[in-house]
Amino acid sequence: MIKTCNPRWLLALFCLVTAMAAAQAQTAKLPNVMVLATGGTIAGTGATSTTTVGYTAATVGVDQLIKAVPELSKIANVKGEQVFQIASESMTNEHWLALGKRVNALLAQNDVDGIVITHGTDTMEETGYFLDLVVKSRKPVILVGAMRPSTALSADGPINLYNAVAIAGSPDAIGKGVMLALNDQIHSARDVTKTNTSTPDSFKTPELGLMGYIQGGKPFFYRVSTRKHTADTEFDIASLSALPQVDIVYGYANMNPVALDAFVAAGAKGIIHAGVGDGSLAARVKPALIAARKKGTIIVRSSRVGQGILARNGEANDDELDFVAADTLNPQKARILLMLALTKTNNTREIQRMFYTY
Ligand code: DGL
């Protein structure tokens, strides 16, 4: 006797199979985005919901960060990896090399369309610029953080993470260099800087301007950096286990050469002089800079001012002193470019070219 199936069962089975196929098709259509977590306030916790300062950074793990934003599953296939769990003021060259190599390895995979890096905001602009100079791919790499800990009222981390994943999965973000995305804004890693110790609108690109906005899970771009980055970089960290020591001396009235001399004595291969104004050299410090150069230390004139071009042969005769001008890079970013430049050359003309290229 042939047993007949109950038509209702058949219909239910058909609906189930169709729904599973549709879900599978939907997932297949979504971009694959890796979230690499390094710590910071976005992973921070405070004693109460109104604690927005005096909290502990780097306590929440990447899986929890992702779980806290279930909407992510609608815009991307997200996987998380805890690369570090630190407050970003403690980021080191060794962390950067490990992170850069991991990013390059993941982006070389066909099943990775973009990367989001959750990071403390204190040094996020530096990590972003370092990656802008060493990532060997056009795929999007987006750094994201938060100015309020995950436990705070109106914590900005979850929406910032959602926006960063949306950008990382967007074809519009391909080939635009490493970017930072916070507060619904998109900034180039080269030109963005943290401008406020605690407010959610802290990240700005003074004068040169942000790249665009993220709204409703979609990025809107209005400008791109004119400088070389990522796939066009000449720098390669694959075989590097360390970066040359480069330190920054800060300019101010009544400045003296004690810090500069100490850095040089400790073996600094390069010095960033974060001068007042257009990188002016104090009479008491100039001889020490000249002596350092004579010992082979590369001197880059930058400015503490934070905006504008640091003009070569402006406040000092760089041709005669054999110094390098930092162009528009702030001191902390000039340090990154000089470190990478020194992995390739000590020639100051070549290094100056790099400061006009990246
Ligand atoms: N300790 C700071 C850091 O990890 C907290 C600031 C933040 O992440 O917003 O950068």
Instruction: Encode pLDDT of 88-107 as tens digits.
Output: 999 999 999 999 999 999 99
Mean pLDDT taken over the chain? 95
What mean pLDDT comes out for the span 7-23? 77
Do 148 and 57 meet the contact criterion of CB atoms below 8 Å apart? no
Q: Is the pLDDT of residue 72 over 60?
A: yes
Residue of 55, 69, 57, 46 whose CA lies nearest to 116: 69
Ligand 1-lining residues (CB < 6 angstroms)? 40-41, 57, 87-89, 120-122, 145-147
Superfamily the domain 30-232 falls into: L-asparaginase, N-terminal domain (3.40.50.1170)
Q: Angle at which helices 93-107 and 124-134 pack, to 10 degrees?
A: 50
* DSSP secondary structure letters along 217-275: TEEEE----SS--GGG-----TT-S----EEEEE--TT--SHHHHHHHHTT-SEEEEEE
Residues annotated catalytic, as ranges: 41, 121
Give the pLDDT confidence score for residue 17 in this predicted structure.
Answer: 77
Tell me how far apart the alpha carbons of residues 81 and 37 are, in angstroms, rounded to a whole number: 6
Task: Please write the tens of the pLDDT for every residue from 116-172.
Answer: 999 999 999 999 999 999 999 999 999 999 999 988 899 999 999 999 999 999 999
Strand partners, 327: 310
C-alpha triplet 186, 191, 192: angle, nearest 5°: 50
Q: Give me the residue spans of the domains in the chain.
A: 30-232, 246-357
- 254 Cβ neighbours under 8 A, 6+ residues apart: none
Q: Which atom of ligand 1 is nearest to the CA of 147?
A: 9
Q: Is the pLDDT of residue 2 over 60?
A: no
Confidence of residue 7 (pLDDT cuts 50, 70, 90): confident
Residue of 324, 346, 344 whose CA lies nearest to 334: 324
Tell me how far apart the alpha carbons of residues 166 and 170 are, in angstroms, rounded to a whole number: 6
Residue of 320, 358, 82, 59 whose CA lies nearest to 231: 358
Say what the pTM is.
Answer: 0.93
Confidence of residue 16 (pLDDT cuts 50, 70, 90): confident
Strand partners, 247: 271
Provide the CATH topology of domain 246-357: Rossmann fold (3.40.50)
Distance from residue 69's CA to the centre of ligand 1 (Å): 20
Q: Is the pLDDT of residue 19 over 90?
A: no
Q: Which atom of ligand 1 is nearest to the CA of 119?
A: 8
Distance from residue 179's CA to the centre of ligand 1 (Å): 18
Distance from residue 55's CA to the centre of ligand 1 (Å): 10
Q: Is the pLDDT of residue 3 over 70?
A: no
Q: Which of 53, 59, 60, 89 to probe ligand 1 with, by most ligand atoms within 8 A of CB?
A: 89
The answer to whether domain 30-232 and domain 246-357 are alike in fold is yes
Tell me how far apart the alpha carbons of residues 32 and 73 are, in angstroms, rounded to a whole number: 10
